[in-house]
Amino acid sequence: MIVAPESMTPQEIGDYYDQLDLAYRLLWGCHLHHGYWTRQTRSVDAAVTRLIDLTTDWLRIRKTDRLLDIGCGYGATGRYLNHRFSCHVTGITVSRHQFDLGRDSREAGGVQLRFGDYLNWIFPKPSFDGVLALESFSHFANKKWFFQKVSTELKPGARLVMTDLVVTPTGADRCRKWLLQPLCQTARIPSLAMATELHRWAQRAGLKTIITEDLTPHVRRTWSHLFLRSLRHIPSGFFKARESLPVGSRELAVGLNAIRLWLAYRMGAVEYRLHVYEKNDPPL
């Protein structure tokens, strides 16, 4: 596991996304996760939608299902799933700006957003027919408790679907100090785990592994897109003087993190993996 040089609280992680809120929406849009790229992909919207479809197909969603989206951002993924399946989605985020914008959306029918730290939020047990965590798991400091809590809130036979960065053994040895730890600190990631650690924590929480798949070749193009877009917007006067950071500094922050992650992918220090876990049926 790679641990950030300094500890961080959920509030600090939320503040980070609040500060970069305008930049992310300007550079990327309402979906705050990677895109899945193929030779036929021609737009960011198509890439991010493809990733949602690819991952949520594993949830086997039905019309009556109640889903939980951990780290829901503006609720865009929840609204997409509600429109596609007519399911009910509860989303939770630590970003006040994301919560306010998502809650005010006119397309919020069937989607309820919550503001706060998921690990401190109390849901009835069990509540959900599926749990989705697109790139939010790495922001949790207590990763073991994450699996324990999700397991208690999943119905028997229901699934947890995650996508996130994992550290490779090679990356942990070669790139820990000069690349991965700075990436964790600047991107407000308390720690990055290895895939084997995730599977061990999931098993101890009563979740069995259905599949794990390396999606890195299809998603790393996301960061070259973000970097190039950030370069185009740095000299613009988009941000007003009253904002807390100087003009262009948000885009620069996103661009620097894009470079770090692009290097981490290219050097094989990290992988972007899909993980699907299923709640074990109770003993007869």
The pLDDT of residue 23: 74
At 153, is the pLDDT very low, low, confident or very high (cuts 50, 70, 90)?
Answer: very high
- Per-residue model confidence as pLDDT tens digits over 74-88: 999 999 999 999 999
Residue 70 has pLDDT above 50, yes or no: yes
Contact 22, 239 (CB under 8 A): yes
232 or 95, which is more confident? 95
What is the rounded average pLDDT of the residues 85-114?
Answer: 86
What is the model's pLDDT at position 172?
A: 76
Buried b (16+ CB within 10 A) or exposed e, 253-274: bbbbbbebbbebbeeebbbbbb
Q: Which residue has the tokens 């990055």?
A: 192
Query: In the prediction, which pLDDT does 105 show?
Result: 66
Domain-embedded: residue 94:
yes
Preceding omega of 126 cis (within 30 degrees of 0): yes
Residue 248 has pLDDT above 50, yes or no: no
Distance of alpha carbon 59 from alpha carbon 57, whole angstroms: 5
Q: 151 burial class (0-12, 13-18, 19+ CB within 10 angstroms)?
A: buried
Instruction: Answer yes or no: is 125 within a domain.
Output: yes
Quick check: is 27 in a domain? yes
Stronger pLDDT, 18 or 261, i.e. the higher one: 18
Q: Is the pLDDT of residue 163 over 70?
A: yes
Q: What is the pLDDT of residues 208-238, one digit of tens each?
A: 999 999 999 999 887 777 666 666 655 554 4
Confidence band for 244, pLDDT divided at 50, 70 and 90: very low
284 in a domain, yes or no? no
Name which of 277, 117, 133 is nearest 205 in CA terms: 277
Mean residue pLDDT of the chain comes to 86
Has residue 192 been placed in a domain? yes
Band of residue 252 on the pLDDT scale cut at 50, 70, 90: low
225 assigned to some structural domain: yes
At residue 73, does pLDDT exceed 50? yes
Our count of domains for the chain comes to 1
CATH code of residue 13: 3.40.50.150
**Given this model, what pLDDT does residue 175 score?**
84
Q: If you write DSSP's letter for every residue of 175-217 in order, what string do you get? A: SIIIIIHHHHHHTT-SEE--HHHHHHHHHHTTEEEEEEEE-HH
Stated pTM of the model: 0.88
In the predicted structure, residue 245 carries a pLDDT above the cut 60 = no
pLDDT mean over 29-57: 88
pLDDT of residue 144: 96
The model's pLDDT over 123-143, given as tens digits with 9 standing for 90+, comes to 988 989 999 999 999 999 999
In a domain, 107, yes or no: yes
What pLDDT score was predicted for residue 274?
97
In whole angstroms, give the CA distance from residue 153 to residue 198.
Answer: 18
What pLDDT is attached to residue 162? Answer: 97
What is the span of the domain harbouring residue 46? Answer: 2-279
174 within a domain of the structure (yes/no): yes
Q: What is the structure's pLDDT at 255?
A: 62
